[in-house]
Amino acid sequence: MYRAAGACSKAPVGAHNLRSNQNRRKKQGWRMTKHAMVIAGGGPTGMMLAAELALANVDVAIVERRPDHVLVGSRAGGFHSRTIEVLDQRGVADRFLAEGQVAQAAMIGSTVLDMSDFPTRHPYALGIWQNQIERIMAAWVAELPVRIYYGSEVMGFAQDDTGVDVELSDGQSMRAQYLVGCDGGRSVIRRAAGIEFPGWDATRSNLIAEVEVTEEPPRGIRHDATGVHGIHRLEDGRTERVIVTEQQLGPSSEPTLRDLSDALIAVYGTDFGIHSPTWISRFTDMTRQAAAYRAGRVLLAGDSAHVHYPAGGQGLSLGVQDAVNLGWKLAQVVNGTSPESLLDTYQEERHPVAARALQHTMAQGVLQRPDDRIKALVDMVSELALMDEPRKRLAGIISGLDIHYDLGAGHPLLGRRMADLDLATTAGPLRVFTLLHDAKPVLLDLGEPGGFDIAPWAGRVQLIDAEYVGPWELPVLGAVSAPTAVLIRPDGYVAWVGEGTDTGLRDALTTWFGTP
């Protein structure tokens, strides 16, 4: 059994201890709980992954430290276009859109990158607090066969050739085929797995809090040479959400109201009479990425695999999309239709995406500290960012709409997200995303009906005959030639493109959805 050093025990505990504990418990009539999949952590990433697995009929459990799904504090302020799309692929985007506010929120420096001309049904970001996001996600997950163990903490694990024993804080264990650490930036799973977390140490820290005030503060964002500061009134009309950059890098201990007062006085000359805090937290610009996303039967997703300064608001989106990339692959491996090697594509595809986001947030972090010299850079970047080509490229990165998984050479659609096209079928009009609601792959035949025989994959892959007469346009890249067929993975990325023949289709079906 390996525990994260410094988390709950001081050093790794030998596997023999696990066996002797198990023998003792067996004698006491204790039984180990079994699930095909165990997810450590029920934040946005863990919940999204559980939903993906449940949709694929995998017996999945989440172990969550909190007593329920309620998140203290508002935390992240929303997510970007591709994340709205992946939720739309599962038919639940409307639940989030109904509670949030759409806005042009992709930014570089202080320049907004208007992406309203992007070819997507959702050419915007969604402003919605993370505690609302988690409440909506928890309600969705509750509709699915997902078991959640609230108030329980994963302390460590031991893996062997057939599965993982997961040690819980109450002294019990769980047995699973795979364990995924969705347990945030301080991941116990990552440390217990011995996965390195290289990157950059923190250079600055921000306090974030929800408080009441006795003096009216100047609301809005302010930038200075220390960094970014902001005060916003929350919907209750009473609470102020305050973010302030500290003059010096703060300690790792829990921040106090006094710390917040000092930081506010240093920036605004007053603390506005802050009182009655419901939440005070500290975050930094530490930027790190797990060297490996998988160690045998243990995988990482979300903040456990990458942390960065929240400039640009990409963290939650990255985690949700990690989950959507990993979920169907794990399901196919657990259900026995695909070999374990399919899991290697998770790191191959998602590691570069997060690495690029980390680079972007570091650049963005610098641009948010405008002393005179950096201000000169901000002005130059802003001028460039308003030009069409740079605007599209940057907005493509931030929105996640330009993601390109390297699936080899071929048509530009290959490895890119499938757009939510309006199709005509014999059964009537149909949106592409509707076909993905159950997280099942689709072969979309846009040529003469009956052109493909995928009988060996029947039951695994949906074959849909449809017509589409509109343009084919990709975000950032622009117009591309119309394909005659596309094979769409459950995560919405194109695995094969037909251009008049079925060349390569069998190989693609085998690679992604197993041998017949």
Contact flag: residue 333 with ligand FAD (CB under 6 A): no
Contact flag: residue 78 with ligand FAD (CB under 6 A): yes
Contact flag: residue 310 with ligand FAD (CB under 6 A): yes
Look at residues 211, 233, 207 and name the one whose alpha carbon lies nearest to residue 220: 233
User: Considering only 95-103, 307-315, 392-400, 500-508, which stretch makes contact with ligand FAD by CB under 6 A?
Assistant: 307-315
* Euclidean distance between CA atoms 240 and 327, whole angstroms: 38
Q: Tokens 């740079």 map to which residue?
A: 390
Find the binding residues for ligand FAD in span 138-167 (CB under 6 A): 153-154
Nearer to ligand FAD, 34 or 66 (CB): 66
* Euclidean distance between CA atoms 136 and 132, whole angstroms: 6
Pick the binder of ligand FAD from 100, 109, 123, 315 (CB under 6 A).
315
Is 341 strand, coil or helix? helix
Q: Tokens 């490895």 map to which residue?
A: 415
Contact flag: residue 173 with ligand FAD (CB under 6 A): no
Pick the binder of ligand FAD from 36, 42, 327, 381 (CB under 6 A).
42
Contact flag: residue 233 with ligand FAD (CB under 6 A): no
- Closest separation in Å from C-beta 158 to ligand FAD: 15
Residues in the chain: 516
Nearer to ligand FAD, 84 or 454 (CB): 84
**Beta strands 428-431 and 37-40: pairing type?**
unpaired
Q: Dihedral, CA atoms, 450, 452, 454, 459, nearest 10 degrees? A: -40
In the chain, the amino acid numbered 462 is Q
Contact flag: residue 183 with ligand FAD (CB under 6 A): yes
Contact flag: residue 279 with ligand FAD (CB under 6 A): no
Pick the binder of ligand FAD from 75, 223, 351, 392 (CB under 6 A).
75
In the chain, the amino acid numbered 222 is R
* Euclidean distance between CA atoms 377 and 364, whole angstroms: 11
Contact flag: residue 299 with ligand FAD (CB under 6 A): no
Contact flag: residue 327 with ligand FAD (CB under 6 A): no
In the chain, the amino acid numbered 229 is H
Instruction: Give phi and psi for 94, each to the nearest 5.
Output: -60, -30
Contact flag: residue 205 with ligand FAD (CB under 6 A): no
Number of CB atoms found within 10 A of residue 324's CB: 29
In the chain, the amino acid numbered 506 is R
* Euclidean distance between CA atoms 124 and 502, whole angstroms: 36
Contact flag: residue 65 with ligand FAD (CB under 6 A): yes
Pick the binder of ligand FAD from 316, 342, 343, 413 (CB under 6 A).
316
Nearer to ligand FAD, 148 or 508 (CB): 148
- Closest separation in Å from C-beta 153 to ligand FAD: 4
Question: Partners of 156 in the beta sheet?
Answer: 3, 167
Look at residues 134, 130, 128 and name the one whose alpha carbon lies nearest to residue 50: 134
Q: Greatest CA separation found in the chain?
A: 73
Contact flag: residue 392 with ligand FAD (CB under 6 A): no
- Closest separation in Å from C-beta 373 to ligand FAD: 27
Q: Within 13 Å of residue 215, how many CA atoms lie on the same side as its CB?
A: 10
Contact 326, 49 (CB under 8 A): yes
Q: Where would I find the beta strands (DSSP E) of 306-452? A: 306-307, 422-425, 428-431, 442-445
- Closest separation in Å from C-beta 71 to ligand FAD: 7
- Closest separation in Å from C-beta 56 to ligand FAD: 20
Find the binding residues for ligand FAD in span 474-503 (CB under 6 A): none
Give the contact letters, 22-41, x = binds to ligand FAD (CB under 6 A), - = no. ------------------xx
Nearer to ligand FAD, 109 or 514 (CB): 109
Look at residues 375, 361, 396, 374 and name the one whose alpha carbon lies nearest to residue 478: 396
Start-to-end CA distance of the chain, whole Å, equals: 38
User: Considering only 94-102, 246-254, 302-310, 377-385, which stretch makes contact with ligand FAD by CB under 6 A?
Assistant: 302-310
* Total chain residues near ligand FAD (CB under 6 A): 34
Give the contact letters, 108-127, x = binds to ligand FAD (CB under 6 A), - = no. --------------------
Q: Tokens 């692929």 map to which residue?
A: 89
CA-based angle 353:110:318, to the nearest 5?
Answer: 20
User: Considering only 312-320, 436-444, 448-456, 461-469, which stretch makes contact with ligand FAD by CB under 6 A?
Assistant: 312-320
- DSSP-derived secondary structure letter, 13: P
User: Considering only 60-68, 172-180, 261-269, 388-396, which stretch makes contact with ligand FAD by CB under 6 A?
Assistant: 60-68
- Closest separation in Å from C-beta 246 to ligand FAD: 13
Is 102 strand, coil or helix? strand
Contact flag: residue 107 with ligand FAD (CB under 6 A): no
Nearer to ligand FAD, 41 or 475 (CB): 41
| Binding site residues, ligand FAD, CB under 6 A | 40-46, 63-66, 75-79, 130, 153-154, 182-184, 188, 208, 283, 302-303, 310, 313-317, 319
